[in-house]
Amino acid sequence: MTLAFVVNSGSSSIKWELLEAESGESVRRGIVERIGEAGGDAADHRQAMTSIIGMLGAEHPVVIGHRVVHGGDLFSAATVVTPEVEAAIEKLSSLAPLHNPSNLAGIRAAQVAFPGIPNVAVFDTAFHQSLAPAAYTYAIDAQVAADHSVRRYGFHGTSYQYVSRRAAEVLERPLGDLRLIVFHLGNGASACAIAGGRSVDTSMGMTPLEGLVMGTRSGDLDPGALFHLAREAGLGTPELDTLLNRRSGILGLSGHGDMRDLVESMKAGDAASRLAFDVYVHRLRHYLGAYIAQLGGVDAVVFTAGVGENSPDVRAGALAGLGGLGIHLDAARNARRSPEPRRISTDDSPVAVLVVPTNEELEIARQSLAALG
Ligand code: AMP
């Protein structure tokens, strides 16, 4: 039995899971919450990690895999943590100020709590390091962009790696032969065009704000709107940040940040909810079309994460009327609920449509073991 311990360390919580890496079986998992808060579970990340050891019992992992949000252009694969890697993650905190410092706190706590067990950093951005310059470059002053590391990095890479491999298994075809468009639709949402197992384009950009409409994030927006709001509404940087990251998306349009509530409200006849749903779906179709062009065709469209796995309405909206592109959804298969990966297109649809539940913890476990060599 090869056990991996997977850590997702946030600013005030540590989510953890002990997994059997070959079978993917979860041995134990938990979450320590409200770290550093009065009445919380632990005073700091180190104390939280010590309390987690107590919950692991006799089982000893051979590796600790850490989710790290931003690897910039320095990391294109899971990497064993060394002092140099720690310094790089710290340096990249300017690109992910809310995430990288917390991820690093988790790594440092694990080093103290589990002496002698190697730590591996698994980056959300790494999978997208395969993007060509034409796909990752923003058309702004090249020197300004270079000085401040402004480019597309992309996120959800760990999920895309897991889901693309599973999709190939479901299709019983080599991943290397496939052109996939994957929609990771959770609270955060993005799309990815994948050719031969490599990311060729993705909708999140320098930060996880670009692209699709999300629970509370706007996704794509004319940057000129920000100048307008700064001038006309007097909004400063913190207000604009809050507006676009926390008060936008389906929440901002309808008052519902959760897709379940939005769909229910829409079906009850609420006009704002209808519009929010339509905007959400319109954006999905925008990226679907773009990525079919970037890939020169598509073999399978794949849905994953909370909304992608559970909302037949969103999937049906995204793919309605696309028979001309070879995409034929089977309504009954789409409506059926299941925790298993499955095909929801008709048997004779030239393009397969799949639902593949993601498992980022298992992917982190496997990549961490692989990084040990
Ligand atoms: P995730 O970030 O992957 O955990 O996804 C969370 C989101 O999934 C929630 O905000 C919900 O909107 C959405 N979700 C979960 N279950 C359903 C469902 N049955 N129908 C529609 N959306 C769902």
Condensed to tens digits (0 to 9), the pLDDT of residues 162-184 reads: 999 999 999 999 999 999 999 99
The pLDDT value given to residue 39: 87
Average pLDDT on 348-372 reads 97
Q: What is the pLDDT of residues 212-228, one digit of tens each?
A: 999 999 999 999 999 99
Q: Give the whole-angstrom CA distance, residue 362 versus residue 65.
A: 10
For ligand 1, pick from 264, 307, 314, 356 the residue to mutate: most ligand atoms within 8 Å of CB. 307
Say if 146 falls within a structural domain. Answer: no
Has residue 94 got a pLDDT over 80? yes
Q: Which residue did the predictor score with more confidence, 60 or 143?
A: 143
Say if 169 falls within a structural domain. Answer: no
**Dihedral (Cα; 75, 80, 85, 90), 10-degree rounding:** 90
Say if 370 falls within a structural domain. Answer: no
3 state SS of 329 = strand
Angle at alpha carbon of residue 68, lines to 66 and 73, rounded to 5°: 135
Ligand 1 in reach of 260 Cβ (< 6 A): yes
Say if 371 falls within a structural domain. Answer: no
Residue 101 phi/psi, 5-degree rounding, is: -60, -40
| Spatial contact of 302 and 163, defined as CB atoms under 8 Å apart | yes
Say if 156 falls within a structural domain. Answer: no
Ligand 1 in reach of 131 Cβ (< 6 A): no
Confidence at 22, pLDDT banded by 50, 70, 90: confident
Q: In this structure, which amino acid lies at residue 263?
A: V
Give the distance (Å) from ligand 1 centre to CA of residue 185: 8
| Bridge partners, 13 (sequence order) | none
Which atom of ligand 1 approaches the CA of 258 most closely? 12
The reply to whether 220 and 329 lie within a common domain is yes
Output DSSP code: residue 349.
-
Ligand 1 in reach of 216 Cβ (< 6 A): no
With pLDDT > 70 as the criterion, what percentage of the chain qualifies?
100
- Predicted structure pTM score: 0.96
Q: What is the pLDDT of residues 178-214, one digit of tens each?
A: 999 999 999 999 999 999 999 999 999 999 999 999 9
Has residue 114 got a pLDDT over 80? yes
The reply to whether 119 and 206 lie within a common domain is no
The reply to whether 217 and 349 lie within a common domain is yes
Confidence at 57, pLDDT banded by 50, 70, 90: confident
The reply to whether 104 and 191 lie within a common domain is no
The pLDDT value given to residue 59: 81
The reply to whether 338 and 193 lie within a common domain is yes
The reply to whether 87 and 204 lie within a common domain is no
Ligand 1 in reach of 306 Cβ (< 6 A): yes
| Spatial contact of 162 and 362, defined as CB atoms under 8 Å apart | yes
| Spatial contact of 179 and 164, defined as CB atoms under 8 Å apart | no
Domain total in the chain: 2
The reply to whether 307 and 212 lie within a common domain is yes
Give the distance (Å) from ligand 1 centre to CA of residue 155: 18
Say if 102 falls within a structural domain. Answer: yes
The reply to whether 83 and 210 lie within a common domain is no
The CATH number of whichever domain residue 111 belongs to comes to 3.30.420.40
3 state SS of 186 = coil
Has residue 362 got a pLDDT over 80? yes
Q: What is the pLDDT of residues 314-350, one digit of tens each?
A: 999 999 999 999 999 999 999 999 999 999 999 999 9
Strand 189-195 to 3-9 pairing:
unpaired
Confidence at 40, pLDDT banded by 50, 70, 90: confident
Has residue 240 got a pLDDT over 80? yes
Confidence at 300, pLDDT banded by 50, 70, 90: very high
Say if 97 falls within a structural domain. Answer: yes
Question: Average pLDDT over the chain, rounded to whole?
Answer: 96
Residues marked active site are found at 124
For ligand 1, pick from 253, 273, 284, 311 the residue to mutate: most ligand atoms within 8 Å of CB. 311
Has residue 372 got a pLDDT over 80? yes
Give the distance (Å) from ligand 1 centre to CA of residue 307: 4
The reply to whether 185 and 329 lie within a common domain is yes
Which atom of ligand 1 approaches the CA of 184 most closely? 3
Average pLDDT on 251-255 reads 98
Ligand 1 in reach of 187 Cβ (< 6 A): yes
Residues 6+ apart with CB under 8 A from 93: 70, 100, 101, 104
The reply to whether 268 and 201 lie within a common domain is yes
What are the start-end ranges of the H helices in the chain?
45-56, 83-91, 100-113, 133-136, 142-147, 157-171, 223-232, 237-246, 249-254, 259-267, 271-295, 305-310, 312-319, 331-335, 360-372
Give the distance (Å) from ligand 1 centre to CA of residue 258: 7
Domain of residue 52: give its range: 3-123
Confidence at 369, pLDDT banded by 50, 70, 90: very high
User: Where does a domain end: 108, 123, 138?
Assistant: 123
User: Where does a domain end: 106, 123, 140?
Assistant: 123
| Bridge partners, 179 (sequence order) | 195
| Spatial contact of 346 and 329, defined as CB atoms under 8 Å apart | yes
Say if 16 falls within a structural domain. Answer: yes
Confidence at 60, pLDDT banded by 50, 70, 90: confident
3-class SS shares of the chain: helix, strand, coil, % to 5: 45, 20, 35
The reply to whether 298 and 200 lie within a common domain is yes
Has residue 236 got a pLDDT over 80? yes
Q: Give the whole-angstrom CA distance, residue 161 versus residue 197.
A: 8
With pLDDT > 90 as the criterion, what percentage of the chain qualifies?
95
**Dihedral (Cα; 222, 224, 229, 231), 10-degree rounding:** 180
Ligand 1 in reach of 310 Cβ (< 6 A): yes
Q: Give the whole-angstrom CA distance, residue 210 versus residue 227.
A: 17
Which is nearest to 103 in space by CA: 2, 234, 7? 7
Ligand 1 in reach of 304 Cβ (< 6 A): no
User: Where does a domain end: 123, 157, 182?
Assistant: 123
DSSP 303-326: EEHHHHHH-HHHHHHHHTT-GGGT
Average pLDDT on 118-142 reads 98
The reply to whether 334 and 196 lie within a common domain is yes
Give the distance (Å) from ligand 1 centre to CA of residue 170: 23
Confidence at 98, pLDDT banded by 50, 70, 90: confident
326: left (phi over 0), alpha (psi -120 to 50) or beta: left
Q: What's the chain's Rg over C-alpha atoms?
A: 21
Which is nearest to 362 in space by CA: 76, 2, 122, 6? 6
